[in-house]
Amino acid sequence: MKKLLLSLVCLLLLAYVGFKGAAWYQVHSLLERAHDALEEQGVLTWGRIGSSLSGHVSVYDLEFQPFLLTQPVRATRVTFSADAVPELLDALSGGPLPGHWTLRAENLRLQLASPLLRDWVGPRNAAISAGLINIPCGHGSLGLASLMSLGIGQVAGDLKVEQDNMLDDAGGLNVDIQAGKLGSADIRLPGLRLDRTLDEGGSLQDYSGPVAVELRDGGFMRRLAAYCARAADIGPEEWAEQATRTFSEQLQATGYQPSDQLRALYKVWLRDGGELKATLTAGEPLLGLPERDRPAGKGPVDPNIGGFDVFYNGARVPDLFVRYLPPAPVQPVVANGATAPEDGDGTDSAAFRPADPEQAARWPDRRVRVTLKSGRVVDGRLSGVTDSQLEVTRLVDGGEVAYPLARSAITLFEVWRRTGDAGIEPAPETEGASPLHAVAPTTTDDAGNTPYDSDQSQQ
């Protein structure tokens, strides 16, 4: 009996040591594969690897240094859990993921610094430099300097990703982010199942179903509104109105007019924050936001018209949509005010001639005409160029209005030039320098409308 008991103890000990060794080897191999997959984007490093018979493995002191950023992304511990040890080992060895699993990242953090983007990536070194997320703050735009002045030295929190069992079309992938004073986000993708580690099958990238999003700001938006308004020497209400007007102008530059309710929701969220719930649609150009007045030939009728539900602090917000804006007629005007021909007339006179948008830095402060995928045409002075966007400034009474245009949305880029005019050879960028810098104050008429809106119908 004594020998049998000793043999059982030895077998259990060997099984435990075998599990620990197999778990360490499989996790280390998985990390090596991740390191190789990410070698073109950055450097992945890690510390100790632990495991437990309860069905989970942990990696401590995980760090990823993207080449695009000056600061690394760190996590104190990342834990992957399954319901059973065999399922865990099978998933780590490259087999299918179990029906239910959980991934947790504790104390996930990114230290803020100025600059955060490498100089060769983005000349302006701003956290928010393009698209519709361009929030005025003080006498400029919200960026890293504003956040750091607000007392935010890092973005930190806990991340939980959970795969529920797929039963009768229920379940799916749930993502929970808890970021402390910055708020929280809960994202649910019902019907999505990741089949392999590292998403090798591309299930997440190819997902085109509903995305339920729930945001809570934790009081951050009120702090932000107070800070940005004080920096501009105005009240939070006036600041929120200006930020909403900027949002509307930038959306119009892409060919859409936001509804009154959409502008009102944007303004209230910036000013007061709170809880915001919405069901978006992955893969859609506007994430499921209804589009009205779309002309024939511009795509099928939007099925979401009247069916897009958003809840703000528990109350449903109706009439959220954008209205398609037809391309505005373009009347080029030369420096002396005379109307110029739109296209070449067979001579070598100046006219709008196509150019490569990748070579846009050759045309600083030149008159350009940009056609977007939406069909809208923006005509003005090229006042800024970054890796992700072109900035076109239009002259209006009393000032200028600048419109950031994403490169991915541009279908035609034209420059007012003669045939043999190849622009200037861009000078090599020095550290912290930008090939173009633009000043873009926003002006309004007495009715509170932007000059850009004066030729659009308000419906």
What CATH number is given to the structural domain containing 415? 2.30.30.100
What pLDDT sits at residue 77?
Answer: 96
More confident residue, 441 or 360: 360
Which of 196, 229, 261 lies at the terminal end of a domain, its last residue? 196
Is there a domain that residue 366 lies in? yes
What pLDDT sits at residue 75?
Answer: 97
More confident residue, 57 or 132: 57
Residue 326 CA to residue 455 CA, distance in Å, equals 11
Q: Could you give the count of Cα atoms lying within 13 Å of 338 in the half-sphere of its Cβ? A: 3
Is there a domain that residue 444 lies in? yes
What pLDDT sits at residue 119?
Answer: 56
Is there a domain that residue 322 lies in? no
The token pair that represents 331 in the structure block: 């009347």
* Whole-prediction pTM: 0.68
Please give the full DSSP string across 10-78, using - where no structure is assigned.
HHHHHHHHHHHHHHHHHHHHHHHHHHHHTTTTEEEE---EEEETTTEEEEEEEEEEETTBSS-EEEEEE
What pLDDT sits at residue 199?
Answer: 65
Q: Strand, helix or coil at 225?
A: helix
User: Quick one: which H or E segment has residue 261?
Assistant: helix 260-272
Q: What's the average model confidence in pLDDT over 125-143?
A: 63
DSSP state of 333: B
User: Quick one: which H or E segment has residue 82?
Assistant: strand 73-82
Residue 415, C-beta contacts closer than 8 angstroms, at least 6 positions apart: 352, 353, 355, 363, 366, 367, 368, 382, 421, 423
Q: What's the pLDDT band for 455 if we cut at 50, 70, 90?
A: very low
What pLDDT sits at residue 141?
Answer: 81
Q: What's the average model confidence in pLDDT over 31-53?
A: 92
Ramachandran area for residue 337 (φ above 0: left; ψ -120 to 50: alpha; else beta): left
Is there a domain that residue 326 lies in? no
What pLDDT sits at residue 451?
Answer: 35
Residue 222 CA to residue 123 CA, distance in Å, equals 30
Q: What's the average model confidence in pLDDT over 14-18?
A: 80
pLDDT at 291 over 70: yes
Task: Evaluate whether 197 touches 98 at the Cβ level (below 8 Å).
Answer: no
Number of helices (H), then strands (E), in the chain: 6, 23
Q: What's the pLDDT band for 216 if we cut at 50, 70, 90?
A: very high
What are the tens digits of pLDDT across the range 49-65? Answer: 999 888 899 999 999 99
136-137/377-385 β-pairing: unpaired
pLDDT at 440 over 50: no
Closest CA to 246 of 232, 298, 307: 232
pLDDT at 412 over 70: yes
pLDDT at 12 over 80: no
Is there a domain that residue 165 lies in? yes
pLDDT at 120 over 60: no
Q: What's the pLDDT band for 458 if we cut at 50, 70, 90?
A: very low
Q: What's the pLDDT band for 443 if we cut at 50, 70, 90?
A: very low
CA distances 134 to 131, 137, 246, 433, Å, are 7, 9, 8, 21
Domain count, the chain: 2
What pLDDT sits at residue 297?
Answer: 55
What pLDDT sits at residue 47?
Answer: 95
Task: Evaluate whether 193 touches 173 at the Cβ level (below 8 Å).
Answer: yes
What pLDDT sits at residue 326?
Answer: 72
> Would you give the distance in Å from CA 314 to the centre of its chain?
26
Cα distance from N-terminal residue to C-terminal residue, the chain: 90
Residue 189 CA to residue 249 CA, distance in Å, equals 32
Which of 162, 196, 230 lies at the terminal end of a domain, its last residue? 196
- Max Cα–Cα distance, the chain, nearest Å: 108
Lowest average pLDDT, out of 2-11, 246-255, 334-343, 404-413, goes to 334-343
What pLDDT sits at residue 314?
Answer: 92
Residue 397: give the domain boundaries.
351-453
Task: Evaluate whether 274 touches 317 at the Cβ level (below 8 Å).
Answer: no
Residue 250 CA to residue 405 CA, distance in Å, equals 8
Is there a domain that residue 265 lies in? no
Q: What's the pLDDT band for 449 if we cut at 50, 70, 90?
A: very low
pLDDT at 10 over 90: no
pLDDT at 176 over 80: yes
More confident residue, 121 or 370: 370
pLDDT at 127 over 90: no
424 phi, psi to nearest 5 deg: -110, 155
Is there a domain that residue 235 lies in? no
More confident residue, 297 or 413: 413
CA distances 155 to 72, 95, 132, 181, 346, Å, are 12, 34, 21, 10, 58
Percent of the chain with pLDDT over 90: 31
What pLDDT sits at residue 170?
Answer: 63
Give the mean pLDDT of the chain. 79
DSSP state of 255: T
CA angle 216, 219, 220 (to 5 degrees): 90
Which of 196, 231, 258 lies at the terminal end of a domain, its last residue? 196
Is there a domain that residue 19 lies in? yes
